[in-house]
Amino acid sequence: MNRHELRTLAAALPIMVLASGAVSAAQDVDILAMFAAADGQHRVGLAAKTRPVAGRPALAGEIITTLIKGEGVETRSKPAEAGDVVVRNRCPETGNEEYLIKAARVADRYGAPSGTPDAGGWREYSPKGVEMRYFIVSPTEGPWTFNAPWGEGMVARSGDAIVQDPKNPKDTYRIAAASFRCTYAIIRAP
């Protein structure tokens, strides 16, 4: 599938999901209210990303389409700006998905890269273990959609983790179930 086909698929995904009836009656939820409800039900724990990733400098204007193996398109980034980094998880079970990290967040989440870049410019980054609040979407809740912090709709499915930066509750987003299991360590279970 080429980039144009991926962009077309990404743009059509919300329409296809809604047309298929795959999303529950609460098609678009207030993610902050959903998180608060999970917290009130004592379903929120703490986790931190611990698995090293590969990263490379993003090209100005580059758009990264995050593909999850077995699920398809998860999200599309806004166009990259100077200093942004394309990050690739090291999780074969999820297809080693890629996503864009804004320049201002790279140092907080990963710090400086290590090693010499390979031919593609990829270097290893080690997560700093930033503690994130999380809850797991239950089988009775998913699937539903919500707006991610970067303005794009995300689909949350049963088993997925919804993570939230405790210092910035608006920074709340979905991590696919397999990706969460592969890249995060539970610090405190709910």
Domain finish residue from 128, 160, 178: 128
Q: How confident is the model at residue 25 (pLDDT cuts 50, 70, 90)?
A: very low
Q: How confident is the model at residue 27 (pLDDT cuts 50, 70, 90)?
A: low
Task: Give the pLDDT mean for 145-160.
Answer: 89
Residue 124 counted as domain residue: yes
As a whole number of angstroms, the distance between CA 103 and CA 86 comes to: 10
Ramachandran angles phi, psi of 144, nearest 5°: -155, 170
CA distances from 188 to 52, 132, 167 (A): 21, 10, 17
pLDDT of residue 149: 86
Q: Is the pLDDT of residue 20 over 50?
A: no
Domain finish residue from 128, 150, 175: 128
As a whole number of angstroms, the distance between CA 165 and CA 180 comes to: 15
Residue 1 counted as domain residue: no
Q: Is the pLDDT of residue 62 over 80?
A: yes
Lowest mean pLDDT among 44-48, 131-135, 146-150: 146-150
For the chain, give the mean pLDDT. 86
The region, left, alpha or beta by phi > 0 then psi within -120 to 50, assigned to residue 173 is beta
Task: Give the pLDDT mean for 155-167.
Answer: 95
Q: Is the pLDDT of residue 96 over 70?
A: yes
More confident residue, 151 or 146: 146
Assess whether 135 and 43 both reside in one domain: yes
As a whole number of angstroms, the distance between CA 142 and CA 6 comes to: 25
Residue bearing tokens 């509750």 = 169
Task: Give the pLDDT mean for 75-102.
Answer: 94
Query: H or E segment at 71?
Result: none
Those residues with Cβ within 8 angstroms of residue 178's Cβ, 6 or more apart along the chain or in another chain: 68, 69, 70, 91, 93, 94
Token pair of 43, please?
């379903």
Are 44 and 190 within 8 A, CB to CB?
A: yes
Task: Give the pLDDT mean for 41-50.
Answer: 97
The percent helix, strand, coil of the chain (3-state, each to 5) is 25, 35, 45
Assess whether 59 and 119 both reside in one domain: yes
Q: What pTM was estimated for this model as a whole?
A: 0.79
Domain that holds residue 162: 23-49+130-190
Q: Is the pLDDT of residue 108 over 60?
A: yes
